[in-house]
């Protein structure tokens, strides 16, 4: 049973054009699920925009927006925040608690 707030947030971001799904690979690249394109961190802007408790996994899910250098937009929904050691420390915390590549 996934939190409805999490689902609503993802749907709202899809409505804003964040259509692609991304995930971080073990070698610190970001992979697009739909077309298997692989990006380095310097080719992306990633921001943590929200978090919700996921009743199914019993933990928090962090929602990140992703924008590529070629203007594709999508999401990373993960159990961890995509920063620092996960992506080679190339992020900084913004005042609104989102993260941006440096």
What pLDDT was estimated at residue 62? 92
CA end-to-end span of the chain, whole Å? 37
DSSP strand pairing (73-78 vs 20-24): parallel
Task: Provide the edge-to-edge strand list for the sheet that holds 38-39.
Answer: 38-39, 30-32, 20-24, 73-78, 59-68, 44-54
DSSP letter string, 6-65? HHHHHHHHHHTT--EEEEE-TTS-EEETTT--EE-GGGEEEEEEEEEEETTTTEEEEEEE
Sorted by where each begins, the domain ranges of the chain are 4-101
Q: Mind listing the pLDDT tens digit for each residue in 59-99?
A: 899 999 999 988 999 999 998 887 543 444 444 433 344 44
> What letter would DSSP give residue 5?
H
The model carries a pTM of: 0.77
Cα gap 56→54, rounded to integer Å: 5
């Amino acid at each position: 049973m996934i939190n409805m707030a999490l689902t609503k947030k993802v749907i709202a971001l899809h409505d804003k054009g964040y259509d692609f799904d991304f995930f971080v690979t073990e070698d610190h690249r970001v992979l697009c699920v739909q077309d298997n394109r692989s990006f380095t961190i310097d080719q992306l802007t990633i921001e943590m925009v929200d978090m919700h408790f996921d009743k199914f996994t019993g933990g928090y899910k962090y929602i990140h927006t992703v924008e590529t250098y070629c203007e594709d937009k999508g999401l990373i929904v993960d159990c961890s925040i995509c920063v620092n050691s996960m992506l080679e420390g190339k992020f900084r915390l913004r005042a609104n608690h989102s993260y941006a590549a440096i």
